[in-house]
Structure 1
Amino acid sequence: MKFLYDFFPILLFFVAYKLGGIYVATGVAMIAATIQISYSWFIKKKVENMHWISAGLILLFGGMTLILHDPLFIMWKPTILNWLFALAFAGSAFMGSKPLVQRMMEHVLAVPNPIWRRVNWAWVMFFIISGIANIYVAYNFSQDAWVNFKLFGLMGMTFVFMILQGIYLARYAENTEEVVADNANDTDQIR
């Protein structure tokens, strides 16, 4: 359910594009992002940072696309979003005691701190490559190809990356109590 919620604007963008073109799809994505934020705010009383950032970029780049009547602005949105995520993950390696991926996943999986750092840097590289792939497709293929890549290509890349990450992490998954104790010792040694 959360997966569909997170990709709600992308799915609507894809359907709207197929039915009405890039400008209709852009307007639909802007409305969908606004509805997504509103729903979270009024029903859940909380909006995830990722949704704020994504909605802000959709509204900014979508607005520029509609006002200037230039689809390249909305085509840049996934690249900018991916590069912002890369920056956040990279920055987390230098701020705080835990990288961002560890903060997001440690409640589900226990692995040693050095493995979290490697996985965090893998996410940085993934986001950079995803951003490059998106803009490459936008500039070198048709608009139809880019819309298909935006939904199926980027989502497929993410799915494959997450499977590979799961396989990698499974090799290092340990007893939760042991890893918590080891990670506490690592943190004490850093201080």
Structure 2
Amino acid sequence: MKILFDLFPLLLFFVSYKLAGGHQDAIHSVLNEHVGKFVSGGAIPASQAPLIAATIVGIIATTAQVLYLLARRKKVDGALWISLVVFVVFGSMTIYFHDGDFIKWKPTVIYWALATAMLVAYRFFDKNMIRVAMEKQVQLPEPVWVRLHFMWVTFWLVLGFVNLFVAFVLFKSQDEAWVNFKLFGVTGLMLVFFIAQAFYLSKHIKDEA
């Protein structure tokens, strides 16, 4: 259930992009009628309409996540706050300048912000964020926790570079290909990482038994 909650903005972003792409003329007209007067140049190009529509939906969905948790008096974790701030900033620039390059930077900024936060917490506050998140479920020796911490930092950094490569080199000017990668490619890479992490942890858990 939590996985679906975490993926909620991404899924809505993907679905809204596909729906808007299938009705581009209608979405273009609606956006220019209601949003056009607030953007640079006073009009949104038809080619950018699907991505801008998806960006608006994504911002609303992420905001709704935060408001839902606050209304339920539940903790909003740091990653979600980072996601909201970055989505609003880069999403707003995407809408105002009707330029999809801004929103394509958003995942990388989030991944690198997470890596930076983990490094700062470890270096200056002696806090291993991965251990904080997982130690109730599994007991590991200290050296393993440290390696796991840096595995996650490295993963976020590499994933950020991969997103830039896909967005601006491999599929340059191909919005739909990048949107597909954002859902299926990134999710696939995370799944592979989780599986590799599970194998790594299982070895050390057995060693501790």
Task: Calculate the TM-score normalised by the size of structure 2.
Answer: 0.81
**Contact 1:110–1:174, Cα closer than 8 Å, also in 2:** no
User: How far is 1:96 from its partner?
Assistant: 3.6
Task: State the match for 1:19 in structure 2.
Answer: 19
Which has the higher mean CA deviation after the structures are superposed, 108-117 or 37-46? 37-46
Taking the aligned partners of 2:52 and 2:65, their CA distance within structure 1 comes to 20
Residue 195 of structure 2 corresponds to residue 163 of structure 1:
yes
Q: Does 1:64 align with 2:96?
A: no
Distance in 2 between residues matched to 1:98 and 1:172, nearest whole Å: 21
**Alignment pair present for 1:85 and 2:114:** yes
**What is the 5 A alignment of 1:116-127?**
116-127=145-156
Which amino acid counterpart does residue 82 of structure 1 have in structure 2? Y
| TM-score, structure 1 as length reference | 0.88
Aligned identity (percent) is 42
Amino acid at match of 1:9: P
Q: Does 1:134 align with 2:163?
A: yes
Q: Residue 93 of structure 1 contacts residue 117 of structure 1 at CA under 8 Å; is this kept in 2?
A: no
Q: In structure 2, what is the equivalent of residue 188 of structure 1?
A: none
- Which residue in 2 is equivalent to 1:146? 178
Tell me how far apart the structure 2 counterparts of residues 157 and 8 of structure 1 sit (CA, whole Å). Answer: 18
- Mean Cα displacement is larger for which, 157-166 or 88-97? 88-97
Task: Measure the CA separation in 2 of the matches of 1:174 and 1:111.
Answer: 10
User: What's the Cα RMSD here?
Assistant: 1.6
1:189 corresponding residue in structure 2:
none
Q: Which residue of 2 aligns with 1:33?
A: 62
- Consecutive unaligned residues of structure 1, counting only runs of 5 or more, are 179-191
Q: Structure 2: which amino acid aligns with 1:32?
A: A
